[in-house]
Chains A and B, each alone.
Chain A
């Protein structure tokens, strides 16, 4: 299945005490992708449930290159 990277926030939390490999608080969410699968992912900014989001390049644990979801304005 090819994923376009767009979806919607189902639930989200602000993680003040993140796991090892993150040096500051993070926002994470469960995201239902347009194609159906549900994904655990980083958010680039806080976004309440129902917010449409789009995957964008972003750094993940230990600064590795990866992706995070950005709220669509």
Chain B
């Protein structure tokens, strides 16, 4: 993957090529050996006039041609969904070497300093809808119900920044304190600027192979995909402050993997906002309802804790170039499971989870995607 950040001088093709060549090099294969590819991107149409064809562009720039390539647009879960498609391609038995790439370049958008909007929310946008405003309301409902405090929310940003300080790929690496988070400019109460993930640019890629191909090619350092799970919203009017869509995605993933939530050693969760990381601990069944705030305040989800979450720095500090995020989460979990994460290594990590959720429809999220990976 590329480093995440704001790179106005770099193109989609340039970012994507670095990620693809990095993944091929890591897998020890040539571009000509890739049989099928999927490219996740969410804003390239609006920002770069490329709603389609980003995958073809990036792969051609990487020297790959004459293969099936499909663009995957699924909001913030575009990268996760591209990875899932690559897994499916191999599961069909028709292909045994697939590639997933996620790319995004948000630094060129005109509304700098303003929150991102979301596809399909034009009507709500007339009334000021933005993701931070929506999740701020969910956070307030959650805090009122569970007694979770603003300091507990801020602890998420502090933890993820501390993790990012050990990750050379992260967008923001300078340490911050709870006081810094609480005193940063307000976006939508209770979220300050440091409670919200930044926008940025970046790309990530992953090679997915069958067992037979791995053996044939003599690949080492393998990580097994135990489960892939994707679901859409239920669009039900229900209690605010927890996310049924993520619970359903997680439950399906645990069932497919045949593992218990207690077996998860590390997780990259969709921490677009501080409060949502806490709520997702519960959605992903890493703790019981209402215990998420205490989990982070007690350091249980920090490096060295019981279940380290977002060891990469997460969306909050590693950054969130939409389509790249899901593949970058896979990159982090694979790096951890291989024992190659250096100063942020979680000792003995054997099973890891990634989680991305994106988009809005009728008061619910539109897509939630969970993967469970295990050291081979």
Are A and B subunits of one complex?
A: yes
Tell me which of B132, B144, B185, B363 contacts A30 (CB under 8 A): B363
Verify A17–B240 contact, CB threshold 8 A: no
Verify B186–A20 contact, CB threshold 8 A: no
Q: How would residues 291 to 311 of chain B score, 1 for a CB under 8 Å from any chain A CB and 0 otherwise?
A: 000000000000000000000
Verify A19–B114 contact, CB threshold 8 A: yes
Verify B128–A18 contact, CB threshold 8 A: yes
Verify B128–A29 contact, CB threshold 8 A: no
> Are A30 and B130 also in contact (CB < 8 A) when A19-B111, A40-B363, A61-B125 are?
no
Verify B187–A17 contact, CB threshold 8 A: yes
Tell me which of B117, B125, B133 contacts A13 (CB under 8 A): B133
> Are A16 and B127 also in contact (CB < 8 A) when A11-B138, A30-B363, A49-B141 are?
no
Verify B189–A16 contact, CB threshold 8 A: yes
Q: Who on chain B is nearest to A67 by CB?
A: B127
Verify B185–A16 contact, CB threshold 8 A: yes
Tell me which of B129, B132, B140, B185 contacts A40 (CB under 8 A): B129
Tell me which of A12, A16, A22 contacts B137 (CB under 8 A): A12
User: Does B97 have its Cβ within 8 Å of any Cβ on chain A?
Assistant: no
User: Does B30 have its Cβ within 8 Å of any Cβ on chain A?
Assistant: no
Which residues in A have their C-beta under 8 angstroms from that of B140?
11-13, 49
Which residues in B have their C-beta under 8 angstroms from that of A32?
237
**A28 to B238 alpha-carbon distance, docked (Å):** 19
Which residues in A have their C-beta under 8 angstroms from that of B136?
13, 15
Which residues in A have their C-beta under 8 angstroms from that of B150?
none
Verify B237–A42 contact, CB threshold 8 A: no
Q: Give the interface SS of chain A, mostly helix, strand, loop or mixed.
A: strand
Verify B127–A10 contact, CB threshold 8 A: no
Q: How would residues 111 to 150 of chain B score, 1 for a CB under 8 Å from any chain A CB and 0 otherwise?
A: 1011101000000111111101110111011001000000
User: Does B27 have its Cβ within 8 Å of any Cβ on chain A?
Assistant: no
Verify A28–B237 contact, CB threshold 8 A: no
Tell me which of A17, A29, A60 contacts B114 (CB under 8 A): A17
29 contacts between A and B (CB under 8 A): A10-B137, A11-B141, A11-B240, A12-B140, A13-B133, A13-B136, A13-B140, A14-B188, A14-B189, A15-B130, A15-B132, A15-B187, A17-B188, A18-B128, A19-B115, A19-B129, A28-B128, A28-B133, A28-B137, A29-B137, A30-B363, A38-B237, A42-B127, A49-B144, A60-B126, A60-B127, A60-B128, A61-B127, A68-B127
Extra contacts, 16 of them, besides A15-B187, A28-B137, A38-B363 (Cβ < 8 A), are: A10-B141, A15-B130, A15-B132, A15-B136, A16-B187, A17-B188, A18-B128, A18-B130, A19-B114, A21-B125, A22-B128, A28-B133, A29-B137, A61-B125, A61-B126, A61-B127
B positions within 8 Å CB-CB of A: 111, 113-115, 117, 124-130, 132-134, 136-138, 140-141, 144, 185-190, 237, 240-241, 363
